[in-house]
Copies of this chain bind each other. A is one copy, B any other.
């Protein structure tokens, strides 16, 4: 019975119990779809013993599952819940039109929504299915140097524009990082109804995008990507507009749940 003395436990730094559990979920990303207990504890910044208990709860709720080797992965329950999230209804409404657009243009097609300070790719379709798509659905794109991002930014609330234009990151030698130049671009985009990006995010690639307007306003941006060597992009504008319009129209009865950012500005 060597358990002789128990020094007082240095307890609860300040985060709530729930926030710790949720930080464990945040430890997973595309590069880390499965993690061990100690990896999770490290990445979430909480003691192993605590992580172990919380992981047990997350597994009981089926948000996580254990693999054969003992490591943890995101559970099917999360996938299932995710089907109820707004991107799914949008994605399903858009899919047939995206396919049409791929056929019409022969290029890769993007559908993205605004999430936080970046564009969340809801769906991406390429000519050949087997072609390795660099950014799969679920990836984030910058707002200031992609065509879909610019469309979303141009129709975003001014506060967000200010925030994003404060310090635009450079991705290629062609990325526009001057706030004033970008601001002028946004004005043009709102007026013209379409945005483009030429090698601003990825060398050798240009893209055009247009807004998708549902009953509650702009809900997404639809873009076409192609290599610089491809035929003129002007030919893509007409089918792009048609597809964007068709998607918007099919959104008529779909929920108008434009989610707001965070409900609690205080703190």
B-binding residues in A (CB < 8 A): 16-19, 21-22, 25-26, 28-30, 33-34, 54, 56-63, 65-68, 73-76, 78-88, 95-96, 113, 115, 120, 129-130, 136-138, 216, 255-260, 262-264
Contacts and interface: CB of A to CB of B under 8 A. Distances in A.
Contacts of A59: 262-264
Q: Give the secondary structure class of A's interface.
A: mixed
Contacts of A259: 65-67, 73, 75-76
Given A59-B264, A260-B67, A33 B81 contact: no
A65 B120 contact: no
B84 A88 contact: no
Contacts of A57: 16, 18-19, 22
A87 B22 CA distance: 21
A65 B216 CA distance: 17
A255 B33 contact: yes
Contacts of A61: 19, 22, 25-26
A87 B66 CA distance: 14
A253 B3 CA distance: 48
Nearest to A136: B83
Contacts of A18: 17-18, 21, 54, 57-58
